[in-house]
Structure 1
């Protein structure tokens, strides 16, 4: 994953983040998408509606960068297969 410094993050469009309003979880490449999924439940200060929207952004970025996502909903993250 490429390391983003604050200047890089500031230069990114809000649309390039899973949580655009908060500018949290950048989605600039496959590595960042995987990281956003792994850290999704650690994001604080967001509503379930914002999480629903962020999940849509992550799924779109995952498709764009060919990242496999097994979960269909963010509520499934970390639950494992049954």
Structure 2
């Protein structure tokens, strides 16, 4: 995954994030999409509606960057241990 510098991240439009209000989980390339899925349940203080919307953005980005998602919904993701 290409690291985003703080300046690059700050320049991204809100629509380029899975969680735009929180500016969490950028969706800039295939690697970022996979990372957003892996970290999805680590995003705190978001509603289920925000998670639904974030998942739709992830699905759209996955299609754009040819990333195959095995999960049909964010509900299929495993909760992190701890």
TM range (shorter): over 0.9
Counterpart-to-counterpart distance in 1, 2:78 and 2:23: 23
Coordinate RMSD, CA, aligned = 1.0
CA deviations over 1:35-62 (Å, ceiling 9, x no partner) = 0000000001111100000000000000
TM-score (norm 1): 0.93
Find runs of 4+ consecutive structure 1 residues off by over 4 angstroms.
none
Counterpart-to-counterpart distance in 2, 1:46 and 1:70: 23
Describe how 1:13-52 pairs up with structure 2 within 5 A.
13-52=13-52
Note the residue ranges of structure 1 that are not aligned, 5 or more in a row: none
Tell me the equivalent position of 1:71. Answer: 71
Counterpart-to-counterpart distance in 1, 2:35 and 2:41: 11
Note the residue ranges of structure 2 that are not aligned, 5 or more in a row: none
In the TM superposition, residue 5 of structure 1 has moved relative to its aligned partner by 1.5
Counterpart-to-counterpart distance in 1, 2:31 and 2:78: 18
How many residue pairs get aligned? The number is 79
TM-score (norm 2): 0.93
